[in-house]
Amino acid sequence: MNAYIFPGQGAQFPGMGLDLYEGYPVAQELFEQANDILGFSITDVMFQGSAEDLKETKVTQPAIFLHSVILSKVLGDAFKPDMVAGHSLGEFSALVANGALQFEDGLRLVSERALAMQKACEISPSTMAAVLGLEDGVVERICASIDGVVVPANYNCPGQLVISGETTAVEAACAALKDAGARRALLLPVGGAFHSPMMEPARERLALAIENTTFAQPVCPIYQNVSASAVNNAAEIQKNLIAQLTSPVRWTQSVQQMVKDGATNFIEVGPGKVLQGLVKKIEPEMDAVSVELPAD
Annotated active-site positions, please?
Answer: 88, 195
Residue pair 189/51 in contact by the 8 Å Cβ criterion:
no
Name the packing angle between helices 57-74 and 103-121 (round to 10°).
160
Determine the Cα–Cα distance for residues 136 and 130; give it in Å rounded to an integer. Answer: 12
Q: How far, CA to CA in Å, does 208 sit from each of 16, 25, 33, 116?
A: 31, 34, 24, 11
Adjacent-strand bridge partners of 186: 130
Q: Looking at the chain, which runs of residues are DSSP E strands? A: 2-6, 83-86, 126-132, 150-157, 160-166, 184-187, 222-223, 230-231, 265-268, 287-290
User: What is the number of other CB atoms lying within 10 angstroms of the CB of residue 285?
Assistant: 6
- Is residue 22 packed enough to be buried (19+ CB in 10 Å), middle (13-18) or exposed (0-12)? exposed
Task: Give the CB-side neighbour count of residue 14, counting CA atoms within 13 A.
Answer: 6
